[in-house]
Amino acid sequence: MELIELTDIYTAYEGGDKPVIKGLSLDVKKGEYVLIGGPNGAGKTTLLESINGMVKITHGGAKVCGIDVNKAGNEVRKKVGYVIQNFYFDPFTPFTAGQVVMMGRYGRMGFFRWPKKEDYQAVEKAIRLLGIEDLVNKPIGTLSGGQQQKVMIAQNVAKEPDIMLLDEPFSNLDFHAREFITKVLEDLSGKGMPVIMVSHAFDDLPDRKIRMVIMNEGKISYDDTCDSNEVEGIVRKASRVN
């Protein structure tokens, strides 16, 4: 079953005069591991935000988990995990890391409700999976960039989404953390959750066939499955900058 169906979409940011995504089609099925590459400014983040209903699709059709993204973006966002690229927590942010992970459950439980047993269980499981047990009681803003990154991934794992989107998830992580998170993502996609990751790093890929999508100027210029050790060569060849 296709969990993502984008058909000839164009998207534009509020106030932007030109479309950023220009005639892009992409179908993603259960369990796929998709790596999105391409030069700076090609529209990779915008593609993730189009899938998530965060930018307006001005033309074409977009269904995610069977839901029309333009009509019910909120419903789509409840089903999609999204680890964003640039986040910053002020040292005085009044939440612990554990509370930030629990925020992943808000879409299910509603903002002003108390967490139920299943919410605590999902949070505990995500914390264990990411190995951040010793961080949960610390204020989020006092953690290192890499530790915060793990907390944000845990938040999205706790959400128990149908699809996981990640934008440069390795940017703050050391070698061991990258290897570890790669295994976590591989495991999630092995259980059926499509993982769609924007990355400029090619040394931390699962040891399996992955789907490589390359974007150039708002379009897909390459889309095929390959072995992880072929990725770098493909990106070099296909990421031409006009």
87 binds ligand ATP (CB under 6 A): no
20 binds ligand ATP (CB under 6 A): yes
Other beta carbons less than 10 A from residue 219's beta carbon: 15
Cα angle 75, 56, 85; round to 5: 80
Helix then strand then coil, in percent of the chain rounded to 5, is 35, 30, 35
How many residues form the binding site for ligand ATP (CB under 6 A)? 11
Least CB distance to ligand ATP at residue 237 (A): 18
Interacting stretch for ligand ATP, rule CB under 6 A, among 24-32, 37-45, 173-181, 186-194?
Answer: 37-45
235 binds ligand ATP (CB under 6 A): no
46 binds ligand ATP (CB under 6 A): yes
Interacting stretch for ligand ATP, rule CB under 6 A, among 44-52, 100-108, 124-132, 202-210?
Answer: 44-52
Least CB distance to ligand ATP at residue 239 (A): 10
From edge to edge, which strands make up the β-sheet containing 219-227? 80-83, 163-167, 195-198, 33-37, 209-216, 219-227
CA distance 140 to 8: 40
43 binds ligand ATP (CB under 6 A): yes
Under 8 Å CB-to-CB from 153, ≥6 apart: which residues? Answer: 83, 130, 166, 169, 181, 184
The Cα-based distances of 154 to 22, 52, 91, 125, 174 in angstroms read 33, 19, 20, 9, 17
79 binds ligand ATP (CB under 6 A): no
Interacting stretch for ligand ATP, rule CB under 6 A, among 41-49, 102-110, 126-134, 150-158?
Answer: 41-49
Interacting stretch for ligand ATP, rule CB under 6 A, among 13-21, 60-68, 102-110, 132-140?
Answer: 13-21
Residue ranges in contact with ligand ATP by CB under 6 A: 13, 16, 20, 38, 40-46
